[in-house]
Chain A
Amino acid sequence: MRPILLQGHERALTQIRYSRDGDLLFSTAKDQHICAWYAHNGERLGTYHGHQGALWTVDPNPQTTLIASGAADNTVRLWNIQTGKCLKVWDFDTAVKRVEFNEDGSKLLAVTEQRMGFLGTIVVLDVNQDVDGEQNGEKVLTIQCDESKATVAGWSYLSKYIVAGHENGSVSQYDAKSGEQLDNVQVHDMDIASQVTDLQWSADRTYFITASKDKTAKLINAENLVVLKTYVADTPLNSAVITPRKEFVILGGGQAAMDVTTTSTRQGKFEARFYHKIFEEEIGRVRGHFGPLNTVAADPTGKGYASGGEDGYVRVHQFDKGYFDFSYEVERQAKQQQLQQ
């Protein structure tokens, strides 16, 4: 496969998201604009300007009409995807590290940083899905994280729960309506630095994958926070995603950015790692970045994936035949048995 390199940012990438149909790609970096790209050929659709600080996060709504973004300028902004116009600005006390739309796009959650005497919070906002309509400025729900600040969060199936990953490596489950904490499980190692760096959902949002600085990624059931699978890597992880169509997960990570210049690229382990979702076994790596991978995203159609690195590049990959052909012997046997019946 020949990756497409996108050079729309001057600084390290922070998040990449595909639109629901897999045709558009949104990227944010520590510079102050969001880029929208066509995923099939890497053409840039446009850029969204307005933020005054490093952008941490972006998310398109399921209808692909709006995107939300969160930045270090303490705001969440809502944009019209087609025109690049900013529709709404929500102000917060601290930087916004993560935003995510729920399944129907009617609600938006934002994770705020713990800083300057303010506790980390998860805030839920109502979103008017009409592009031309008036947006409500009110914060519907605020969840405070007293123990350890939330670093990532997302909506479970049917917007029933809000699941958050914390700085101490634990994952908690909140009731999405009342904001009450239902459960908190220490999934990642507590003794060492084990911040949860990413949390991405399966297609049906019944389970999710977390990536952590403790060099592991875990597949977790959203209903009861039971760890289903563990993927062990040899480097701190920044991002993890579940691939549709094939039963794989992709992990991205690498040595911390501050140590990068002192080691060679080969040592840095700046590769996207593919693991089999069920067998937890590593099945391959894709090289290319000059720095740690900060974010990976999978095309919802299963045809490709994109990764964004500390080096400021986005690399969009379209899988070729060998990827789709690969299956374990037991998988092949199972398929044959199914055919015979």
Chain B
Amino acid sequence: MSKTANRDWADDEDLDDTVAATTGLPPNTSTTNKDGTKTIITYSLNEDGKKVKTSRRIRFTVHKEVVNPRVAERKQWTKFGLSAKDGPGPAADTTSVGENIIFRPSTNWRKDAKEEKTEAGSMKDKLKDKKVKCRICNGEHFTARCPFKDTMAPVGEEGGAADVSTGGADAPEGPGGLGAVKGSYVPPHMRNGGGASAAGDRMGGGKFERDDLATLRVTNVSEMAEEQELRDMFERFGRVTRVFLAKDRETGMAKGFAFISYQERTDAAKACEKMDGYGFKHLILRVEFAKKAAS
């Protein structure tokens, strides 16, 4: 096996052939599968001296591009000046890739940008005074710590559970979210019909004029999800005007729910039907229409 020839950085930690011979590791194998992918199995020893088998499936895709012959010729030019010593390909000290920018021209981009900001802001306000609530006895402790854990069934099984998982999501929709669930615990700031005292928290929640008719709420989204991936998935059904994926401010991980707004309600309906129950990153997506803000 010509191991040294096609070494890549990932193999840097691998032991040399000589070491492999002495420790009796099986040789690395590389097989081509029927579907055109390649399976490469490598063996190594980890820090504890245990054998580790690594299998990698790799697909090679050849990307062909037709360019102007003059352009093709210029790509072969030798480098000069300060770059004379650089190898082929972009040099790390002069070229880097920036973070992804979502740029979608839109006639009302100003409004979109503002909305995203208030949504994130109101969410933070919302979570600030959110109390821990037990699903079993509605006490102010985690469900797992409940003294009645083994003796009582959770109160309002569906209502309560859904409430906890989507409580944050409902927040920007309007005051209806929590208050509407009958018989469940109403946090102090929502009592008295979520009156004047709460109005300040919601940063002009009443002024929301977003078209909820064509907005989908997607829940059970993987933590690893990216806004762009969701956009790509949902764009198949029509023009998506906005994707909002709730993310944790500190860790940057997704919180598990997202909103997708379409331009057309028919597209949204199609997407809702097709994407509900779709498997994405080991989780089954749940897609439904975002609840209309109850005023």
Q: Which A residues fall within an 8 A CB radius of B?
A: 1-8, 21, 23-24, 33, 37-38, 41-49, 64, 82-84, 248, 274, 281-288, 315, 317, 319-320, 322-323, 325-326, 328
- Enumerate chain B residues within 8 angstroms of A83, measured Cβ to Cβ: 80
Q: Quick check: A4 and B103 within 8 Å, CB to CB?
A: no
Residues of B65-102 at the interface with A, using a CB-CB cut-off of 8 Å, are: 67-68, 70-71, 74-75, 77, 79-84, 86, 89-91, 93-101
- Enumerate chain A residues within 8 angstroms of B71, measured Cβ to Cβ: 21, 23
Complex formed: what's the CA distance from A48 to B80 in Å? 8
A299 to chain B, nearest CB (A): 12
Residues of B152-191 at the interface with A, using a CB-CB cut-off of 8 Å, are: none
- Enumerate chain A residues within 8 angstroms of B84, measured Cβ to Cβ: 46
Q: Which B residues fall within an 8 A CB radius of A?
A: 67-68, 70-71, 74-75, 77, 79-84, 86, 89-91, 93-101, 103-107, 109-110, 239
Q: A283-B105, A323-B103 are in contact. Are A46 and B96 (CB under 8 A)?
A: no
Q: Which of B81, B93, B100, B107 contacts A46 (CB 8 A)?
A: B81
Q: Quick check: A326 and B79 within 8 Å, CB to CB?
A: no
A251 to chain B, nearest CB (A): 14
Q: A23-B71, A44-B86 are in contact. Are A6 and B95 (CB under 8 A)?
A: yes
Q: A43-B89, A44-B91, A326-B105 are in contact. Are A49 and B98 (CB under 8 A)?
A: no
B121 to chain A, nearest CB (A): 15
Count contacts between A and B, CB distance < 8 Å.
120
A-B contact pairs, 24 of them (CB 8 A): A1-B100, A1-B101, A2-B98, A2-B99, A4-B96, A5-B95, A5-B97, A8-B82, A21-B70, A23-B74, A43-B86, A44-B91, A46-B81, A47-B82, A64-B74, A82-B77, A84-B81, A284-B106, A284-B109, A288-B98, A323-B104, A323-B105, A325-B239, A326-B104
Complex formed: what's the CA distance from A340 to B71 in Å? 38
- Enumerate chain B residues within 8 angstroms of A43, measured Cβ to Cβ: 86, 89-91, 95
Q: A24-B74, A41-B89 are in contact. Are A328 and B94 (CB under 8 A)?
A: no
Q: A21-B71, A33-B81 are in contact. Are A287 and B101 (CB under 8 A)?
A: yes
Q: Quick check: A4 and B97 within 8 Å, CB to CB?
A: yes
B81 to chain A, nearest CB (A): 3
Q: Quick check: A21 and B68 within 8 Å, CB to CB?
A: yes
The residue of chain B having its C-beta at the shortest distance from the C-beta of A48 within the complex is B81
Complex formed: what's the CA distance from A47 to B95 in Å? 14
User: Considering the complex of A and B, which 6 residue pairs feature the smallest CB-CB distances, nearest first?
Assistant: A47-B81, A46-B80, A42-B95, A322-B104, A326-B105, A46-B81
- Enumerate chain A residues within 8 angstroms of B90, measured Cβ to Cβ: 4, 41-44
Q: Quick check: B81 and A49 within 8 Å, CB to CB?
A: yes
- Enumerate chain A residues within 8 angstroms of B70, measured Cβ to Cβ: 21, 64
Q: A1-B100, A33-B81, A33-B82 are in contact. Are A283 and B74 (CB under 8 A)?
A: no
Q: Which of B93, B94, B98 contacts A3 (CB 8 A)?
A: B98
Given contacts A283-B106, A320-B103, 8 further A-B contacts (CB under 8 A): A2-B98, A6-B95, A42-B94, A44-B82, A46-B79, A284-B104, A284-B105, A322-B105
Q: A38-B75, A41-B90, A47-B82 are in contact. Are A328 and B107 (CB under 8 A)?
A: yes
Q: Quick check: B106 and A326 within 8 Å, CB to CB?
A: yes
Complex formed: what's the CA distance from A225 to B228 in Å? 44
- Enumerate chain B residues within 8 angstroms of A33, measured Cβ to Cβ: 81-82
- Enumerate chain B residues within 8 angstroms of A287, measured Cβ to Cβ: 101
Q: Quick check: B83 and A274 within 8 Å, CB to CB?
A: no
Q: Which of A45, A281, A285 contacts B79 (CB 8 A)?
A: A45
Complex formed: what's the CA distance from A283 to B89 in Å? 35
- Enumerate chain A residues within 8 angstroms of B107, measured Cβ to Cβ: 281, 283, 328
Q: Which of A5, A64, A288, A319 contacts B96 (CB 8 A)?
A: A5
Complex formed: what's the CA distance from A315 to B99 in Å? 11
The residue of chain B having its C-beta at the shortest distance from the C-beta of A328 within the complex is B107
The residue of chain A having its C-beta at the shortest distance from the C-beta of B74 within the complex is A23
The residue of chain B having its C-beta at the shortest distance from the C-beta of A325 within the complex is B239
Q: A283-B105, A284-B106 are in contact. Are A44 and B75 (CB under 8 A)?
A: no
B198 to chain A, nearest CB (A): 29
The residue of chain A having its C-beta at the shortest distance from the C-beta of B88 within the complex is A43
A234 to chain B, nearest CB (A): 11
* Max count, chain B CB within 10 A of own CB: residue among A4, A46, A281: A46
- Enumerate chain A residues within 8 angstroms of B68, measured Cβ to Cβ: 21, 23
Q: A48-B81, A281-B107 are in contact. Are A6 and B101 (CB under 8 A)?
A: no
Q: Quick check: A322 and B81 within 8 Å, CB to CB?
A: no
Q: A21-B70, A83-B80, A322-B103 are in contact. Are A44 and B94 (CB under 8 A)?
A: yes
* Max count, chain A CB within 10 A of own CB: residue among B89, B105, B109: B105
- Enumerate chain B residues within 8 angstroms of A6, measured Cβ to Cβ: 94-95
- Enumerate chain B residues within 8 angstroms of A4, measured Cβ to Cβ: 90, 95-98
Complex formed: what's the CA distance from A172 to B77 in Å? 41
The residue of chain B having its C-beta at the shortest distance from the C-beta of A20 within the complex is B70
Complex formed: what's the CA distance from A6 to B98 in Å? 10
Complex formed: what's the CA distance from A6 to B94 in Å? 6
The residue of chain A having its C-beta at the shortest distance from the C-beta of B100 within the complex is A2
Q: Which of B81, B86, B94, B100 contacts A7 (CB 8 A)?
A: B94
Complex formed: what's the CA distance from A82 to B71 in Å? 12
Q: Quick check: B95 and A7 within 8 Å, CB to CB?
A: yes
The residue of chain B having its C-beta at the shortest distance from the C-beta of A287 within the complex is B101
Q: Quick check: B98 and A5 within 8 Å, CB to CB?
A: yes
B176 to chain A, nearest CB (A): 32
